[in-house]
Chains A and B, each alone.
Chain A
C-alpha cells in the first residue's frame, strides 16, 4: 500500500494546491463577481440583486472553495461564462481530441528522438552528430505556434488532427532528443558496454540489451516530463491549427476571462501532470529495481 499511497497523496496535494491557487486568482481578479447584465437599465433592483447573488459578488474565498468542492463531489464543475455550457460537457468533448493529438505526437516524437539518439551514440561520427544536432537545433529555435503554422503550410492544411499531432511531435522531439542522447551517451561510456563490444556482440544486441535496457529508468522518468511538454505545445498549436481541443479551450478561457473554466482546466492540468509524473516515476522505480535484481 505504501508505494501507491505516496504518489496518490502527491497527486491529490498537487490538484488541491492547483484549485486553491486558481480560486485565489479568481477572487483577486479585477471585475470578479460583476455580470454585464447588471448594466441593463431594463432590469429592476430585485433582478440585479439576483444576478449579483448568482455571480457570487461578495462571496468570500473560503465559501468559493466550499461551493466548488461541493460541486466537484457531485460531478458539477460549473458553467462556462463565455460559452454558456457546462464545463464538464466542454471537457468531455475536447479532452479526447487533445489526448489523441498529443498521444500521437508524443509517440512520433519519442520514435524519432530515440532513433536519432541511438544513431548518434552508435555512429560516434562528427558529421552524423552535427546533422542530427543541426536539425534538432533548428526545431528548438522555433516557437511551437510557428511550427504549427509551418506544418499547416507544408501539408496544405489537410487533416487537422494529423497536423496537430505532427506539430506537437516537432515541438517536443528536439527537447527529447537532447535528453535521450545524453542518457544513452552516458550508458555507452560505462565499462560493461566496452566489455560487450570487446566480446564482439552485435550492434543491435548491444544497443537493446546493454544501452537501452540500463537506461530504461531515466527514459521512463523523461516520459513523464514529456507529457507536460506535449500539453504545453498543444496550447498554441491547437489555436493556430483551429483544432477544438483543450489547448484551444485554455486560450479561449484566458482571452474571455472565463474563470470557472480556468479553475477546472487548472485542476485537470494538475491531475494530468502529477498523474503522468507519478506513473513515470513508479515505472522507473520498478524498472530500476528489476535491473538491480538482474
Chain B
C-alpha cells in the first residue's frame, strides 16, 4: 500500500469513527435552531456557521455524513448481492441464461442511471417521512446499481465454469445449487469485494445528485445530498464561501474511496 493510499484509508477510517458516534462528536442536534443566529458566519461556537434556518452547519455535516457514509455501503452491499446472484448464476449456467441476463444488463447499463432512478422515484409516493426517504433512496440505488458489477461477476463465474475444481465437484455428484453456493461464490469473493468498494463512491455521488434535485433524503434529516441543495442559493454562497465546506468534505471522502479502489491511477 502506497503512502497516499494509506493516508486515504486512515482519513476514511477516522471519518467513519466520527460518523458512528455523531451524538458524541457533534456540538448540537442537527435540527436544533438558533433563531437569533440565522446564516451566521463561522465562530468558536459554530465553526462552520449556521444555515438559513439557524441550525449549526458542523453538526448537520456530521449527521449528514452518518446518513450518506453508512447507507451508501448498505446500498452497495444490496447491489453487490443482486449482481452476485444474477451475474454469478448467468456465468455459472452459461448458454441462454447468460445471453438473456447479459442483454438485460446491457440495457440497464446503456440507459442514463439518473434517468432510471428518477422514473423509479416518481413511481413511489413523493411525500414520505424523512426516515422512509432514506430507505427508499438507498434501496433504489442498490436495486438499480447492480448492472456493471453483474457483468464483471458473470465473466469471472464463466471462467470458473470449466475449471478443474468444478468438474471434479460435478463428477463427485455435488448438486448444482451446492456447487454455486459452496464453490463458485466463495471463489468470487475478491471480485465481489472490489465491486462493493467501487460502488460506494458511485452511490455517494448519485445520492448527492438526487439530493440536489430534491428527490433524495427528506428534510429535516441531513444527508450530503440535501446539504448540497443549499448551494443552489448562489448569491448566498458567493457571500458566505464557508457554505462550500460540505462539498469539500464530499469531494475528499469520494476521492479517498477512488484512491483505495483505483490505486494504479492516482497513487
Interface of A with B (CB < 8 Å)? 14, 17-18, 22, 25, 28-30, 130, 133-134, 137-138, 140-146, 149-150, 152-153, 157, 178, 228-229, 231-232, 235-236, 239-240, 250-251, 253-255, 257, 259, 262, 265-266, 269-270, 273-274, 277
Contact = CB atoms under 8 A, between A and B. Distances in A.
Interface string B189-222: 0000000000001000110110011110000000
Contact of A251 (B111, B118, B123, B266): B118
A52 to B, nearest CB: 22
Given A149-B234, A262-B119, A17 B126 contact: no
B140 to A, nearest CB: 12
Contacts of A142: 205, 247, 250-251, 254
14 contacts: A22-B119, A133-B266, A142-B247, A228-B112, A229-B112, A232-B115, A235-B112, A236-B209, A239-B213, A254-B118, A257-B126, A266-B115, A266-B119, A270-B111
A152 B238 CA distance: 11
Interface of B: 107, 110-115, 118-126, 201, 205-206, 208-209, 212-215, 228, 231-232, 234, 237-238, 247, 250-252, 254-255, 258-259, 265-266
Where chain A touches its partner, the secondary structure class is helix
A130 B267 CA distance: 8
Contact of A236 (B122, B126, B213): B213
A2 to B, nearest CB: 20
Given A145-B213, A239-B212, A262-B122, 15 more contacts: A130-B266, A140-B258, A141-B205, A141-B251, A146-B231, A149-B231, A150-B247, A153-B238, A178-B265, A231-B115, A232-B115, A235-B213, A236-B209, A236-B213, A240-B232
Given A232-B115, A253-B122, A145 B228 contact: yes
A143 B118 contact: no
A215 B228 CA distance: 39
B112 A231 contact: yes
Contacts of A257: 122, 126
A17 B255 contact: no
